Structure 1
Amino acid sequence: MSEPFNDIRQVEMAIKAAQRMVGQATMSMDEDQLKAATDALNQAKKQYQDAVSHATGVDDQFFEFSSELIERIDHQLQEAKE
């Protein structure tokens, strides 16, 4: 039972980290920060995919919400890079 919870916690932490880093990077438009934000977002995506693949009986709303957040963060980052 603790494993799905740990997966969820990892996803939450990775998404929050990516949100902060993307926010900072898009405000500064610093190339190094944009790269670090991209790496953080990729890590969040990986954590999400790992959690989804291990999910059994876990709240689908969490995964839906997480997926939407990742998409928004990704969009924000892509807009900043253009």
Structure 2
Amino acid sequence: MKREIHSGYNDLMQVEMSIKTAQKMVGSATMSLDKDMLDGAKQAVSDAHARLAEARHQATGVDEEFLRRCEQELQQAEHQLNEALK
């Protein structure tokens, strides 16, 4: 029977990468105001929220500061996107 070792580090890196991707997509989409790019940015923000929620669910407590910073970065990107969509 093969046992997989679960590392919270990989989960946290995936959260960080998904937020960085969302930030870049939001930046590009809000500069161009292209509808397809804005839709893609919305999806990237949604995906990042899902990854962040999953990481919070599995968090050990030592990750709280990291997760809080990620949440703030994601909220800023989401706010920028929402302003562009008005």
| TM-score normalised by L of structure 1 | 0.94
| Counterpart pick for 2:52 among 48, 51, 55 | 48
Q: Return the alpha-carbon distance in structure 2 between the equivalents of residues 55 and 64 of structure 1.
A: 12
Paired residues in the alignment total 82
Q: 2:39 aligns with which of 35, 41, 48?
A: 35
Q: CA RMSD in A?
A: 1.2
Higher helix share: 1
Unpaired runs of at least 5, structure 1 = none
Which TM-score applies when normalising by structure 2? 0.90
Larger Rg: 2
The unaligned stretches of length 5 or more in structure 2 are: none
Percent identity between the two aligned chains: 43
> Could you list the runs of 4 or more consecutive aligned residues of structure 1 that deviate by over 3 angstroms after TM superposition?
none
